Amino acid sequence: MRPAIKRGIGLLTCGLLMMSAGTATAQMAPGGAVVPQCVAMLKTSATAPVAKAVAPQVHHDARTNTTFFYSLTSDGGVRITASAGDLEVDKVVYPDGRSRIVLGADNDRVSLTIGVGVVDIERRGAGRMQVDVPRAAEAEWLQAKVLLAGSKALRRFRALASSLDAPTLKTPGGAAVVLSDAVLGHLDGDVGAVGRLLQQMRAAVQARIRPVHFEAPEVDCWHDYETQTLHAMDDYDSCLAMFRWYDPKRAACLFVWTLQAEAAWAELIACSGLHLAVQ
C-alpha cells in the first residue's frame, strides 16, 4: 500500500476518534490524547518541500489575469499568493494538511485556519470564532455563516475559483484555490460546494483511466495527486455514511477530508520539483 494512501486511512481514523470524543470509542485512547496523537502521526508521515532557489515560482492565469506566486515559509509551509483585481489571496499549507488562507478585498479581510479537530474563522470588523469540530453543534456552523455573510473578499474569491482557465485548474495554484473555495463555500452556506468539487475530481480521474501497462511508469506528480485525493474522497464518503444527513457531526468528515486533500497538495509541490525560496 502506498504511504500516501496509508496516511489517508490514518487521517480518517483520527477523524473518527475525534468525532467519538466522550464516547466508548474515544476511551480506547488515553484521555485528552486523541488530537496530539493525530498531529504526531500527521507530522511523521508528511513530505516537506525543500527550498532550492532564491526566487518564488510564478504561474499566470490569462483568463482572470491572476498571477500565482509559490514560496516556502520559515516554519516549513508552502505559501501561495495571488492578486486578481482588488482581491489578494495568501494561503499557507503544511505537509501534515494544516492550512491557513487569508482573503482581502478593499477593507474586507477574511481568514480561515484549519487544524486537526479545530477551525478558526476571523473577519475584520465582525469578529472571530474557533470551532471545536468534533463537538460543534449546528448553532456554531450557523454562527460561522453569519460571520462570513456579505463578505466582499469571499465573494471575489469564489468568483475567481469559478472563472479560472481550464489549464490552470491542473496546476498547484488552481488546485489550491478550488480546495479552499469548496470549504469556504460550505461554511458560507453552500452545502453542495464540496460535493460538486468531489464529483468533478472523480470524473476527471476516471476520464484518464487507461489500460494497465506492465512497464515501470514514469513519475507523474499530478496523477499521484489525483489518486491521493480520490482515496480521500472514498474516505469522506465512508465517513458521511456513518451519520444521518442532518447530523452536524458530518462537518468533521469535511475537515478530515480537507486535511487529507491539503496534505496531498503539499506532496504535489514536493514531487513537482519547484525551486522555492523561503520568504
| The three three-digit cell numbers of residue 243, written as one number | 451519520
Q: At a CB cut-off of 8 Å and minimum separation 6, what does 219 contact?
A: 271
pLDDT at 261: 94
Percent with pLDDT over 70 in the chain: 74
pLDDT (mean) for 170-196: 93
pLDDT (mean) for 116-136: 95
Number of Cβ atoms within 10 Å of the Cβ of 179: 25
Total domains present in the chain:
1
pLDDT at 48: 56
| The three three-digit cell numbers of residue 3, written as one number | 504511504
Residue 65 lies in a domain: yes
Confidence tier at 59 by pLDDT (50, 70, 90): confident
CA distance 179 to 258: 8
Residues 240-254 have pLDDT tens digits of 999 999 999 999 999
Does position 36 have pLDDT exceeding 70, yes or no? no
Residue 97 lies in a domain: yes
Cβ–Cβ under 8 Å, residues 98 and 110: no
Residue 225 lies in a domain: yes
Does position 112 have pLDDT exceeding 70, yes or no? yes
CA distance 64 to 165: 8
Q: Can you state the percent helix, strand and coil of the chain, rounding each to 5?
A: 50, 20, 30
Residues 62-95 have pLDDT tens digits of 999 999 999 999 999 999 999 999 999 999 999 9
Tell me which residue range forms the domain holding 239.
3-272
The DSSP annotation for 36-89 comes to HHHHHHHHHH-----B--SS-EEEEETTTTEEEEEEE-TTS-EEEEEEETTEEE
* Coil, strand or helix at 122: strand
CA distance 207 to 190: 27
Residue 278 lies in a domain: no
Report the range of poorest mean pLDDT among 108-112, 119-123, 217-221. 217-221
Confidence tier at 209 by pLDDT (50, 70, 90): low
CA distance 179 to 86: 21
pLDDT (mean) for 204-230: 69
Residue 56 lies in a domain: yes
pLDDT (mean) for 163-185: 93
pLDDT (mean) for 170-174: 91
Helix boundaries (H) for 149-249:
152-163, 172-187, 193-207, 221-240
Residues 13-34 have pLDDT tens digits of 555 545 454 333 333 333 333 4
Confidence tier at 152 by pLDDT (50, 70, 90): very high
pLDDT (mean) for 139-148: 96
CA distance 236 to 254: 7
pLDDT (mean) for 98-103: 98
Cβ–Cβ under 8 Å, residues 49 and 271: no
Cβ–Cβ under 8 Å, residues 251 and 245: no
The CA-based angle 28-34-39, given to 5 degrees, is 140
Residue 277 lies in a domain: no
pLDDT at 198: 85
pLDDT (mean) for 141-149: 96
